[in-house]
Amino acid sequence: MRWEKFLVALVIVFFAIVFQVRLSGGGGAVVDVALAALVACGAVLTVGEMALLTVLAAWALNWEPVFGWEIGVFIIVVTLARLMRPFLPWQPWFSNLLAVGVAALCFNFLAAWPLPATDPVAFLTSWLGTIFVGAFVFQFLRVVFGRETGSR
């Protein structure tokens, strides 16, 4: 069953990355689809599986030959979101919303700083869209793997 969860998470993150790359070409507010999918997949993956998937996603998102600091922030934020998940005392769906929301906030304030300050509407649109994608992925995982998704 573990390999099935990892395989499903890998497919979800792959489609999220493809969708995010296609979405980012249009300009304007960009929803962090890969970030939301990774944080939501943390509900079914172990820390080791999550680390592997995060590094693969960072490698796929970073098309430059040099490791950018934004990718480092991406890896750190996703890892911290996964590590804090067992300590969240609320219902799994709310804990997921909180984890995705805080991760998106941290990523936007650390890696995309001018956006929150210069265009708050685009920032809010991006942030709420990221939370929506995270909620959608989490509910999909609950349908596929059952109600134990996200429980400690």
More confident site: 68 or 133: 133
| Identity of residue 124 | L
Full 3-state SS string of 94-106: HHHHHHHHHHHHH
Model pTM?
0.85
Q: Give pLDDT tens digits for 104-119.
A: 888 888 877 776 777 7
Taking residue 89's Cβ as centre, other Cβ atoms within 10 Å add up to 8
Average pLDDT, the chain: 82
Q: Give pLDDT tens digits for 60-119.
A: 877 667 777 788 888 888 888 888 888 888 888 888 888 899 888 888 888 777 767 777
Cα 77 to the chain's mean position, in Å? 9
Per the listing, tokens 């693969």 go with 56
Q: How many residues does the chain have?
A: 152
Q: What is the mean pLDDT of residues 142-149?
A: 76
Instruction: Give residues with Cβ within 8 angstroms of 44, minimum separation 6.
Output: 5, 8, 9, 141, 145, 149, 150
pLDDT at res. 146: 79
